[in-house]
Amino acid sequence: MPTDLPNGPRSGASIAVRDLHVAYGGTRVLHGVSIDFTPGSFTALLGSSGCGKTTLLRSLSGFVPVQSGSIVVGGQDVASLPPEKRGMAMVFQSYALWPHMTVLQNIGYGLKLRGVSRAEIATKVSAMLAMLGLSGYEDRKVTALSGGQRQRVALGRALAIDPGILLLDEPLSNLDAKIRMVMRHEIRAIQQRLGLTAVHVTHDREEAMTMADRLVIMQAGTIAQVGTPEEVYDRPATAFVANFMGAENVLPLRVARSEAGASFSTGDATALVSSEAAQALPAGEAVAYFRDDVARLDAADAVAGGDLLVPGRIAARAYPGGVYRYRVEAAGRQITVDDADRHELGTTIGLRIPLQRLHIFPASEAGIAA
Amino acid sequence: MSLSQRHLALILIAPGLMLVAALFLYPLCFSLISAFSGPDGSFTLQWFAKAFELYSTDIVFTVVIVLASCALTALAAIVIAGTLTLGENPYIVGTLKALYRWPLFIPFIVAAQCMRTFLAKNGLMNNTFVSLGLMEPLQAVSFLDWRGIIATFVWKQTPFVALLLAGALASIDRATLEAGRNLGASRMRVLIELALPQVMPTLLVALVLSFVTMLSVLSVPMMVSGSQPTMLTVDMAFRINAYGDYATANALGVITYLISAGAAILYLKRGMSQEAPR
């Protein structure tokens, strides 16, 4: 096997974004974003449509003009440089392969631009194809490839120029589910092997969690939270993040502090927490977020123990497989709960929620998501 | 389909068919036959011999003029369409977008008249140069010859080719152009190496259509350049108007058909080689 392809970990470049403002026409899209990407890290930009995640990626790559702020790559501010001078390789959602070129010409184009000889291009491309599992595909037309193969070629084209930074713009969203799973692992493995700094834009939560070692949750042109997948999932910083990360059930709460700790009440249910745990809680009106799978259905008159036991009534039931999914009316809200047992509609039950699994925010802050 | 429906279909298309037959097929066949018929009605090539004897220079002149105009039109259209697609200065792009289509709405004869006043020895262009002090009045020369014909053709056909080309460029996946710039290609290289190859079929269609159009224009060579050598359309008009020599004029017409058929064949051949699997 040719040895031209760098196998050992190379150092990816660092990116420091400071106070970045971007607008399209008169519409402001990014409102002063500041974030660092350390060399060799894999960061996923996650958020709903229109949150500015793609704009942030495109301003890194130079396709969106920056209003103010800086993008420092390896000590140099590239914010005013055109895309071709930035040395970042990008993989596009539509693959963006050139249909009039073969696989060899597509992957070798960046090398051709850098004045690499034909023989050397052929060697490098063949090594790249071997790494991507596409050996012998050099002379195929890209229009004759499947979606997964096209995305591999697009990845190879980006990697062929030995970039320090790899930008991924929803690269997997056009692939079918099975190939998407495979490509997640392949992209992650290649990124780690080459030590690249990768920035991945996606709206797929699971994709972001499984591929990245750091998530950046964006909301309306600002960064809502930065952290490891565990941090963002288990300790969301805001109501928006909690909701976005899948805690879609919402319960209004009243938190009353006392000497012994604090008590929550929602509807007819009350629970007490120790003063230690109460430190982090807001006082007064609050909103609790929790996932479908953390609550259980129990008898209406069961002992609450350390949990919050909210009386409710089963309004609907579905069987998505494995567990039953119930819609429960409790505390004036519709709550979705997964439970292993089958219960009849209309049954009065107690909704048991472990207190430590609730994400509690002041009601004033939760206005958007609740 | 039953027989009566078939008849109905024929009746429905009959008016159109008759119009094509009466206004196109009949004159075409008539001119073809008369080009190959002697005074006694027998088959002859004498009109072609005469046409080549008198006008072989003009045949070459016509082909060269039209090919040169096509090449320059392609170049100008690529510059305009490329600027419209890849330009980053909104003022330049906006101005160009508003202006470039205007010549489309101006007839050839008006364009030729404009060029006469613009390119003549004492025309607008030379007068402007003189008044700007760029040249002496004595140095002024007329451009009303082959250069004038090419200038008029290019001016008139560029918007048409640019319109089709800009449409085709706008419809290709923009990410394919961004991918090129991302890998380090300048905008010029992106246009030439990545964008144009994707719209080549459209450019060729536009150029073949322009080729045939330019081949058939009478007013421009007649008005811009009255002198010899001139284009075949002028020769045809001259044979008919001056001598009532329909036979030689028809022979020149057949030669024109063959030249435009040549362009069509070149285009079709290229299209087929692209379709064929490699």
Q: Mean per-residue pLDDT for A267-296?
A: 77
Note whether A89 contacts B182, CB cutoff 8 Å. yes
B183-237 tens-digit pLDDT = 999 999 999 999 999 999 899 989 999 999 999 999 999 888 867 788 999 999 9
**CB atoms A84 and B184 under 8 Å:** yes
Mean pLDDT of A305-318: 86
Distance of alpha carbon B44 from alpha carbon A246, whole angstroms: 89
- Encode pLDDT of A30-64 as tens digits: 998 999 999 999 999 998 888 899 999 999 999 99
pLDDT at B274: 60
- pLDDT category at A322 given cuts 50, 70, 90 is confident
Q: Do the Cβ atoms of A157 and A106 come closer than 8 Å?
A: yes
Task: Name the region of A221 (left: φ>0; alpha: ψ -120 to 50; beta: rest).
Answer: left
Q: In chain A, which residues have their Cβ closer than 8 Å to the Cβ of B189?
A: 113
**What stretches in chain B show pLDDT beneath 50?**
277-278
Average pLDDT of the residues in A309-331: 89
- Cα A219 to chain centroid distance, Å, stands at 12
**Shortest CB distance from A96 goes to which of B176, B197, B278?**
B176
A288 touches chain B (CB under 8 A): no
For residue A98, what is the nearest residue in chain B, using CA coordinates?
A: B176
Pairing label, strands A68-73, A15-24: antiparallel
CA distance B83 to chain A (A): 17
User: What one-letter code names the amino acid at B155?
Assistant: W
Angle between helices B124-131 and B108-119 (to 10 degrees): 30
DSSP B188-199: HHIIIIIIHHHH
Does residue A254 carry a pLDDT above 60? yes
Cα–Cα dist B61/B149, whole Å:
11
Interacting residues of A348 by C-beta distance below 8 A, sequence separation 6+: A300, A311, A312, A313
List the strands of the sheet with A323-330, edge to edge: A296-299, A348-353, A308-321, A323-330, A333-339
Provide the pLDDT for residue A308: 82
**Is A225's pLDDT higher than 70?**
yes
The whole-angstrom separation of Cα A222 and Cα A29 is 9
Nearest-CA distance from B232 to chain A in Å?
39
Nearest CA of chain A to the CA of B91: how many Å? Answer: 14
Nearest CB to B178: which of A96, A110, A161?
A96
E strand or H helix at B263: helix B246-275
- How sure is the predictor about A358, in pLDDT bands with cuts at 50, 70 and 90? confident
pLDDT digits (tens, 9 = 90+) for A113-130: 999 999 999 999 999 999
Residue tagged 């000497």 (tokens): A259
Closest CA to B163 of B215, B214, B198, B210: B210
Residue pair A357/A296 in contact (Cβ under 8 Å)? The answer is no
- Contact at CB, B184 and A87, closer than 8 angstroms: yes
Annotated domain spans of chain A: 15-235, 248-367
Chain CA centroid to CA A171, Å: 13
CA distances from A348 to A268, A341, B263 (A): 14, 14, 84
User: Is the CB of residue A153 less than 8 Å away from at least one CB of chain B?
Assistant: no
Structural domains in chain B, CATH included, are 48-275 (1.10.3720.10)
Interface size between A and B, measured as CB pairs under 8 A: 67
Q: How far apart are CA B155 and CA B160, in angstroms?
A: 10
**Residue A83 forms contact with B (CB below 8 Å):** yes
Give the tokens for residue B52: 């080549």
User: pLDDT of A6-19, one tens digit each?
Assistant: 443 456 788 999 99
Nearest 5 degrees, angle CA A216-CA A221-CA A224?
Answer: 40
The answer to whether residue B175 neighbours chain A at the CB level (below 8 Å) is: yes
Kindly report, residue by residue over A132-157, the tens digit of the pLDDT: 888 889 999 999 998 889 999 999 99
**Crossing angle (nearest 10°) for helices B90-99 and B46-86:** 150
The span from the CA of A204 to the CA of A126, in Å, is 32
pLDDT at A2: 37
Q: Which of residues 199-238 of B touch A (CB under 8 A)?
A: 200
Interface of A with B in 306-345 (CB under 8 A): none
> At residue A5, does pLDDT exceed 70?
no
Q: Are A182 and A27 in contact (CB under 8 A)?
A: no
CATH of A15-235, one of 3.40.630.10, 3.40.50.300, 3.40.50.1000, 3.90.1580.10: 3.40.50.300
Asked if A83 and B179 come within 8 Å (Cβ–Cβ), the reply is no
Out of A112-116, A182-186, A198-202, least confident range: A182-186
Q: Which residue of B has its CA nearest to A62?
A: B182
Cα B157 off chain centre by: 6
Nearest to B69 by CA among B198, B212, B269: B212
Instruction: Note the pLDDT of residue A370.
Output: 38
Cβ neighbours for A268, distance < 8 A, ≥ 6 positions apart: A310, A311
Q: pTM of the prediction? A: 0.79
The confidence score (pLDDT) of residue B159 equals 95
Average pLDDT, integer, range A76-87? 88
Q: Which of B68, B32, B20, B64 is CA-nearest to residue B258?
A: B32
* Angle at the Cα of B236 from the Cα atoms of B233 and B239, rounded to 5 degrees: 150
Buried b (16+ CB within 10 A) or exposed e, B22-52: eeeeeeeeebeebbbbeeeeeeeeebbebbe
Q: Chain A residues with CB inside 8 Å of B184's CB?
A: 84-85, 87, 110, 113-114, 161
Lowest mean pLDDT among A25-29, A51-55, A63-67: A25-29
Question: Cα(A24)–Cα(B106) distance, rounded to whole angstroms?
Answer: 38
Between chains, do A113 and B185 touch, taking CB under 8 Å as contact? yes
Please give the backbone phi and psi of residue B117, each rounded to the nearest 5 degrees, phi first: -75, -25
